[in-house]
Chains A and B, each alone.
Chain A
Amino acid sequence: MMTGYIHGEIETTAGLFPRIETRWNRSDYWGAIKTRWSVGRMKYRVAPGIYAVGDPDRNSRVFVTGNYKLSFDHLRRALTGMNGWILVIDTKGINVWCAAGKGTFSTKEIVRRIRIHHLEQVVDHRKIIVPQLGATGVAAHEVKKMTGFTVIYGPVLAEDIKAFIDAGLKATEAMRHVTFPLVERVKLIPVDIFYGKYYMVIVPLVFLILSGLYPGGYSVDLALISGGKSAINLFSGYFAGCVLTPALLPWIPFRRFSAKGVVTGWFVALLLLLAGTLGLTLTEKVSWFLMMGALSSFMAMNFTGSSTYTSLSGVQKEMKTALPAQIAMASLGFMGWIITKFVSI
């Protein structure tokens, strides 16, 4: 485990606690980039426990966070220049909001950590500042009942903590609301790209192999030429769904993500059609529209999981029609494409 952020210890009557750096070093920045690209993302953790920021004492504020290192890093950076305590609870390396939804950032775990680390011996007051997005998993009144600590919900973003404290632990409306601007959407794209994993190799390979079929038998040359084109079409459809759709989300018509995906998928197919590489015959072109639309639609629908405003009921409703439609489009398209291998229509 990387511990470059710890520098020294602080001695209190309740024991020794590691003191941490608030500034990010090169490995913190590099780690943040890597996790965005899914590299070692599930192992990017901090040991649960109490950490000191600056030179805290018995009256200093206590901030709670999960043990996903990126969450911890954003919190400690936001506390630059302040004295305080950080209580890291065990969320299995998952960020606060997702962990709250899964039940690992929970009342139970906060209570457990307060007890294990004897927070009541570290500070005299009885207040903990919990990130607002943790509220999905935490019942403030239950934490109070079980430990005596009052939960104060801090702002959504760690970067607003200073303003929140300066205002006397009051969050403005804007600090309480989750938005989903372009920058945030783009940050989530890389993880989505890797959703397909090995299918991204296997599926194009199957198309490549099948591309060698022709009425007279099998041709390797044909497989390479026509199969290469198929791979380009497939990757373009995938790209439309998991890169174009998230990036352009608010500007694409329709509310359903699956419908937005069809729009971007067909847009990309249209570009390939104009470039003359989509297919040779009418049937092949239509088949690719169907397959690319389905693929892009499916990937776009998956982005509901990354988005910050879709409800379970809504996604269930959307999927009830979208999933059968995607399967139908993909199957029809695939059959049409196979047919063009044997009949020139």
Chain B
Amino acid sequence: MNGLVYLTDVVTLVLDRSKCSGCRMCMEVCPHAVFGIEHKKAVILHKDFCMECGACAKNCKEGAITVKSGVGCAAGIINGILRGTEPTCDCGSTGNCC
């Protein structure tokens, strides 16, 4: 990381080490170096670096990782509140998007 850390103790990332096969896929896809390997199994090293993008859970064959993923975007959350949906940055109709 480059010194930028967001709020601590809020992230929903959970790793069930008993299911882990040690394939390292989570380490490969994580953009923020959240995971490491200890005793041939994945371990969460820096939970507060997690941005809940969901890449690790998506690419975990064993289903050992869960995270409530979504867009960490205030405008997206406001969008969701206004439409009564989950936070969404799907703002295609207004023609302005990330």
Q: A: which residues have CB within 8 A of B?
A: 38, 41-42, 92, 94, 98, 100-102, 132-133, 135-141, 153, 156, 171, 173, 176-181, 194-195, 197, 249-250, 255-257, 301-302, 304-319
Contact = CB atoms under 8 A, between A and B. Distances in A.
A42 B28 contact: no
A168 to B, nearest CB: 15
B32 A314 contact: no
* Band of interface residues on B: 35 or more
Nearest to A317: B10
A301 B75 CA distance: 8
B4 A249 contact: yes
A250 B51 CA distance: 17
Given A135-B55, A304-B72, A312-B87, A176 B11 contact: no
A contact face: mostly helix, strand, loop, or mixed: helix
Given A98-B97, A314-B6, A135 B73 contact: no
Contact of B4 (A98, A180, A302): A180
A306 B76 CA distance: 11
Given A136-B55, A176-B31, A195-B75, A311 B10 contact: yes
Q: Which of B7, B11, B50, B87 has the most CB of A within 10 A?
A: B7
A133 B29 CA distance: 7
27 contacts: A42-B92, A92-B92, A94-B98, A98-B97, A101-B70, A101-B71, A132-B55, A133-B31, A136-B55, A138-B58, A139-B59, A176-B27, A195-B96, A250-B3, A255-B5, A255-B6, A305-B89, A305-B98, A306-B73, A306-B98, A311-B7, A312-B70, A313-B12, A313-B68, A316-B77, A317-B7, A318-B7
Contacts of B25: 140
Interface of B: 1-8, 10-12, 25, 27-33, 49-55, 58-59, 61, 68-77, 87-90, 92, 95-98
